[in-house]
Structure 1
Amino acid sequence: MKLDKTWQDMRQIQPQVMTMLQNSITKNRVAHAYIFEGDRGTGKQEVSKTFAKSLLCEAPVEGYQPCEKCKNCKRISSGNHPDIHLIEKDGISIKKEQIKSLQEEFSKKSVEADRKVYMIMDADKMSVGAANSLLKFLEEPTGDTVAILMTEQFQRILPTILSRCQMISFKPLSPENVKRKLMEQDLDPQMAAIISHITQNVGDGIDLSHDEWFVQGQKIVVKLYEVLKQNSLKALLFLQTDWFSHFKEREQVDRGLDLLLLIYKDLLYIQLDKKDLVVFQNKLKEFETHALHLSPRRLAEHMEFILEAKRKLMSNTNPQLLMEQLVLNLQEGS
């Protein structure tokens, strides 16, 4: 069982968000309702839980961090605190009956804490009836109630609800944080490192790790790079026999170019003596040899060739001709 994230853990992931919440607690300016908006996997639910602990903690550290030891903190961690309520979709939407039930529950006095907190996942998925019921609830807040609405698409929430909430935006995660969160999901460190440079969305990253096309694509990209070290004719033949049959759509080719660029970035990290940043650690020895025989200027040119190919790909350039030209550019002088 994985332990809950601490306040400091979440500060590493979303520093600005945690500073805002810290200030709202320490300055006694906790709002009646918040909207946590941002991409999937940016920590909205984890921050919500940590914030709820802070609000209900019996002995907060420095006045705002949950102690993780008191009865309230422990019950929130275990998911059975009577004054914390989480609402999730029932099917494809949040139903009016769910909000009505919440209102009835919150009309009662807090059972164990001074506050009650309710968290609504996918708040943009509320039905019209549910949204109108929630609006009435927000219009008549009680002093001991805090609402946290989480969403990836806040623009789909009623403007009248938005106007009654404090908006807090969650930024995309850094590659380091994406890698850390993926490894917490038991992903292989190298796979986590590669994916963390492909997407800033942890949920998408987890999906990618289970995508056989992506796993096979990595192998093909590495093989193309290795063939490029031999000669352009072999590389052009490899495009015909392996690359084009796997990277068929423009989006797929773009993903392949992203992976190829990572290899050249690894060579750059080696030249800069930053081997700990190398993504393809299983190729480190091989890449070290290659980096010795490639001048910094030529390496920069190679990376620019790939970036230029990505730019042309988004225009009407034929992907097959584009890849053939790229191979010739990368092989020349390497």
Structure 2
Amino acid sequence: MFETLVMMQPAVVKMLKNSHLKDRLSHAYIFEGDSGTGTFEAALYLAARLLCEADEDRPCGVCSNCRRVMNTTHPNVHIIRPARRQIVKEDIRLLQEDFNKTALENGAKIYIIEDAHTMNAHASNALLKFLEEPHPNLYGVLLARDAGALLETLRSRSQTLHFTSMPRQLIEKGLVDGGYPAEQARLAASMTHTLAHAEALLNEPNLTGLLDLLNHLHEAMIKGKSLVTTFHRIHNTAIEGTDDYERLLDLMIRYQKDLIYGKMDHYGQCVFVEDGETQARIVAMKSERMLLEELDMMLELKAKLKHYINERLAFDNLLLALERRMDLEETSGRHPL
């Protein structure tokens, strides 16, 4: 039932199991880990252990409670997901109302907050108040990529468990063994944390178009053409929705890191190795400081994309800023370091 979780996060599973057996479970947990590291599965594992009808070897995986937990249909398990990339106070209010209903079944009540790091201040304060109120047999699990993004008072009232990522080399090997080309395997392994997520990435229908758009942007950069104009010319054939903007930015960040590695002569850490000639030409045009500052700009936009913004306008602004920086670099006449 949870074989994959046990294989990926044995220490977490052992800790939760022993804490349950010894009646030492915390009433609030923070599961800190990147997407694909099993944080959500571990939250379901905890819920199944608490609600399983078996006397031993919980969770059994076959009783009604276990099956409903796994199908996320058990009324005692409340799952909150961010709407428009943010968890708001209304989400916490609905959680409180749900758990105050008398129609819930007997047994433990568990709430799981996905992407808890996206909670705004009002939601965080409402959850903190909820945690401070006595609720017997109630357990909360906050899933977050970065526990540091949560309120310090929330962290102090919760037990944090860290989820480790699957080694990049194992993901890459698994993809190659599965028949994927080496260059694709190398890229997917650098951008994901599990073999399943890496395969999903490579099977995304728009990935080829996004990579082609990225190549056109780099060609425009080398030839001194407008990045914004190039982006607009190909935009409609490569990008269909919000997820594509996020994926394109991920690819840009990964490529930018390659440029920085190239500038530092750390070619062994590069992912787009087949793009060596293009990278060499871009690296020759820019200083190391400039490359690092551009990476900061991309990472800043990535943080903003977690919230509801106009993605196309945001990309226009990023590309326009990159253009202007190139113009300033050329005008200054200084040699890249």
Range class of TM-score, shorter chain: 0.5 to 0.7
Q: Percent identity, aligned pairs only?
A: 32
Residue in 1 that maps onto 2:186: 194
1:58 alignment partner AA: E
Give the whole-Å Cα distance in 1 for the aligned partners of 2:189 and 2:19. Answer: 34
Offset of residue 37 of structure 1: 0.8
TM-score, with structure 1 as normaliser = 0.59
Structure 1 unaligned segments of length 5 or more: list them.
1-5, 217-240, 263-309, 319-334
Alpha-carbon spacing, 1:254–1:136, altered in 2? closer, same or farther (3 Å): same
Offset of residue 125 of structure 1: 1.3
Preserved CA contact (<8 Å) 1:83 1:110: no
Equivalent residues, number: 241
Report Cα offsets for 1:265-311 as digits up to 9, x if no partner. Answer: xxxxxxxxxxxxxxxxxxxxxxxxxxxxxxxxxxxxxxxxxxxxx9x
* Backbone CA RMSD of aligned residues: 4.4
Residue among 251, 268, 290 paired with 2:257: 251
Residue among 26, 31, 34 paired with 1:31: 26
Q: Pairwise mapping of residues 53-68 of structure 1 onto structure 2 (< 5 A)?
A: 53-59=48-54, 61-62=56-57, 64=58, 66-68=59-61
Residue in 1 that maps onto 2:207: 211
Match of 1:198, SS state, is: helix
Structure with the greater alpha carbon radius of gyration: 1
Offset of residue 113 of structure 1: 3.9
2:114 alignment partner AA: M
Preserved CA contact (<8 Å) 1:88 1:94: yes
Give the whole-Å Cα distance in 2 for the aligned partners of 1:182 and 1:10. Answer: 20
Preserved CA contact (<8 Å) 1:31 1:146: yes
User: Are positions 1:168 and 2:161 aligned together?
Assistant: yes
User: Are positions 1:47 and 2:39 aligned together?
Assistant: no
Preserved CA contact (<8 Å) 1:122 1:152: yes
Instruction: Pick which of 250-259 and 99-108 moved more.
Output: 250-259
Give the whole-Å Cα distance in 2 for the aligned partners of 1:29 and 1:146. Answer: 12
1:29 alignment partner AA: R
Give the whole-Å Cα distance in 2 for the aligned partners of 1:31 and 1:163. Answer: 12
Preserved CA contact (<8 Å) 1:174 1:200: no
Residue in 2 that maps onto 1:18: 13
Preserved CA contact (<8 Å) 1:60 1:67: no
Offset of residue 44 of structure 1: 0.9
Match of 2:65, SS state, is: helix
Offset of residue 201 of structure 1: 2.8
Offset of residue 196 of structure 1: 5.8
Structure 2 unaligned segments of length 5 or more: list them.
213-218, 224-250, 275-282, 292-337
Report Cα offsets for 1:295-331 as digits up to 9, x if no partner. Answer: xxxxxxxxxxxxxxx9xx995799xxxxxxxxxxxxx
Alpha-carbon spacing, 1:317–1:48, altered in 2? closer, same or farther (3 Å): closer
Give the whole-Å Cα distance in 1 for the aligned partners of 2:106 and 2:84. Answer: 31
Alpha-carbon spacing, 1:316–1:204, altered in 2? closer, same or farther (3 Å): farther
Alpha-carbon spacing, 1:261–1:13, altered in 2? closer, same or farther (3 Å): farther
